Structure 1
C-alpha cells in the first residue's frame, strides 16, 4: 500500500498540481487606450506581453505575425485588438481573414473600443459615431473621459461581469454576424474571459 511522504515525523500531503497558465501576446491598435486597460491584468496574469503599436486593422495583424515570429516565446494565445473605425470594409474584413489564417484571435470593436467601457454601465445597442463615446462615458464616470486614463481598469473592475453579459447579449443579437456592419458590437469580452481564466485563484 502506498503512503504519502513523511516530513518531520508526520505524513505529508502531496501539494496540489499547479495549474498551467496560458501565455498571451496581445497587440493593440491604440498606443494608449487599449494597452492601459489590459495592463491592469498584467500583474495578475503570468506571461502577458502587451503592445500598443498605433497601427490599424490589416497592418496590425501583419505586425502581430512579425512579433510572434521574432519572439523567443511560444504563446498559447495571440490576440489583435482593433476598431472598425471608418476604415474601408475591405480592409477590416481582410484583417479578420488574415488573422484567422494565422491562428490569431481578434477582439474587435465597432466602432470603437469605448463601447466595451460603456457596456460596464448598461446594455447599449444604438449605433453612434466613435466621437460620441467620450461624452457618454463622461456622464457615467462622473468626470471627463480621457483615453490615456490609467485608472480606468480599476474603476471598471467591479462592473466587469455586467460588461461581459451585455457584450455577449449584444454580439448574439446579430444574425448573421457581419462584423464590418454590426454596429455597435465588440468581442473584447472574449479576450477578457480568457484573461480571467488565468488570474491566480481561478480553478
Structure 2
C-alpha cells in the first residue's frame, strides 16, 4: 500500500508539471498574439484554456481521492494540500493568458496598445514566458534557486506594471479612453500572471526546505 501511495504522489507531481507546461505554451502564444495582433494565436489560447481547466480539475479529484483514501500526514499531507492550491494558481494563470488573448482578438486587426507602450508590453510578455518556463522546471525538480529567479523576474514585471500606470496617468498621454482601459487591463493581466507564479514558487520552496515565505498575492 505504501508503494501505491508513493506512486500516487509522483502522479500528482507529474500532473502539476503537465499543467504548467500547458500554461507556458498558453502564455507564449498569448503574448505573441497580443504583441503581433495575431488573431489565430489568440483563438488557439482561448480554445485551449478548457484543456488547462480540465487537467486542473482532474488533478484536484485525484488529490481529494488521496486525502480520503490514504489519509496522509506530515509532509505527505502538505504535498497533497499544496497540489490543490498550486493547481488553482495554474488554472488562474491560464485564465490570465486567455484574458490577454481576448484583448488581442477584440482589437484585431489593430494592436491593443499605442506604439509608445509596445516595448514595455513586449518586455512584460518576455518575462512572463520566462517565468512560466522556470516554473515548469521548478515543479519538476524542486530546485529552490529557480524560486528565487522567479521572484526576481516578478520584481521586474512589477516595475514595468507601475511604469504603465505612470504613462497612462501622465500629462503627455494622448491615448483615447479605450487605450487607457486596454493598457491598464493588459498590464494587470501580465502582472497577475507573474504573481500566481510567485505564489506557487513559495509553496514549492516550502515543501523543499521547510522555510515558509509569507504570501503577498
TM-score normalised to structure 2 length:
0.33
Greater strand proportion: 1
Larger Rg: 1
Greater helix proportion: 2
TM-score normalised to structure 1 length:
0.35
